[in-house]
Amino acid sequence: MRDDRLKATQAARLRELNSSRPVKVIAVTGGKGGVGKTTVSSNLAVSIAATGRDVMLVDADLGLANVDVLLGLHTRFHLGHVVAGQCALEDAIVTGPHGLQIVPAASGFQHMASLSAAEHAGIIRAFSDLYHRVEVLVVDTAAGLSDSVLTFSRAAHHVLIVVCDEPASITDAYALIKVLSREHGVQRFQILANQTRRSGEGPALYDKISRVCDRFLNVTLEFAGSVPYDDYLRRAVQHQTAVVEAYPASISSIALKNLASKADKWSAPQGARGHLEFFVERMVGARIGPATVLQ
């Protein structure tokens, strides 16, 4: 009985979402920890927000939630509390530079595939409250191939893979692309080379990954550019600020702002895919099996 009522509310909320304007969802991922996912997603979100767009950054890294640390923000609640009905979404959102809205990591998402009906309704409610004020949603994912990483990536319109020129990063990026393409229907990926130390390193790294993907997988890769290794970026991290704010003329800032203007031109989602409804349905509807073992 209670479930029926919840489902009816859920359906009404989804209809409401369907009439909203399109929202571009970008998942920033990469397999390996420490490659720069949080740095890239935070600076990307800040840079897009600086152009006047309404941007939201969701910290979906459950193990090492750090968007708030990186941007020096104080948080009290996270999306897990919202889903559990312990606070409103408004209470969990913190505001960053240029009006960027940040949703801190949600431990409730750890078991996305086994959410209760009430939790489903909680997520839909949380996101339907947002529809009128988000144009771009950037999701910072965790390292590895956990169900939350796969769920957010498959639900997004654009998957940005952050890679460094080291064997472990390349292997992990490949493993992630393989699982997402073979098991979750994601066919298109943007590849960003981070922490590059010489010119030509980014394109060469992209070629290396494309060659192996072309050979074994049915995917389309695009080169999203390179972000050089930059001590100013490290300094900004230490001061808990976005490098694009603290050192806007640094080499990494220029690269990250270029990435933002590129991402702004990535095709806008069309039709049903463009609405938050689609994203939310894909998120809560996703059923991801036990961790996939990779060869």
Ligand X SMILES: Nc1ncnc2c1ncn2[C@@H]1O[C@H](COP(=O)(O)OP(=O)(O)O)[C@@H](O)[C@H]1O
Binding stretches for ligand X (CB under 6 A): 33-39, 143, 194-195, 227, 229-230, 233-234, 237, 252
Among residues 10 and 194, whose Cβ is nearest to ligand X?
Answer: 194
Among residues 25 and 162, whose Cβ is nearest to ligand X?
Answer: 162
Question: What SS3 class is residue 193?
Answer: strand
Q: Tell which residue, 45, 46, 42, 44, has the closest CA to residue 61.
A: 42
Q: Are 264 and 55 in contact (CB under 8 A)?
A: no
C-alpha distances out from residue 77 to 42, 87, 111, 229, 291, Å:
19, 8, 19, 33, 29
- Contacted by 234, from ligand X, Mg ion, none: CB < 5 to 8 Å by type: ligand X
Whole-number minimum distance, CB 38 to Mg ion, in Å? 3
Among residues 151 and 169, whose Cβ is nearest to ligand X?
Answer: 169
Whole-number minimum distance, CB 105 to Mg ion, in Å? 10
Question: What SS3 class is residue 66?
Answer: coil
Whole-number minimum distance, CB 39 to Mg ion, in Å? 8
- Contacted by 233, from Mg ion, ligand X, none: CB < 5 to 8 Å by type: ligand X
- Contacted by 248, from Mg ion, ligand X, none: CB < 5 to 8 Å by type: none
- Contacted by 195, from Mg ion, ligand X, none: CB < 5 to 8 Å by type: ligand X
The continuous run of DSSP H or E covering 127 comes out as helix 117-128
DSSP assignment of 82-112: HHTTSS-HHHH-EE-GGG-EEE---GGGGGG
Among residues 22 and 63, whose Cβ is nearest to ligand X?
Answer: 63
C-alpha to C-alpha distance for 256 and 5, rounded to whole angstroms: 46
Instruction: State the residues that interact with Mg ion by CB under 5 A.
Output: 37-38, 61
Among residues 38 and 190, whose Cβ is nearest to ligand X?
Answer: 38
Whole-number minimum distance, CB 147 to ligand X, in Å? 18
Q: Are 254 and 226 in contact (CB under 8 A)?
A: no
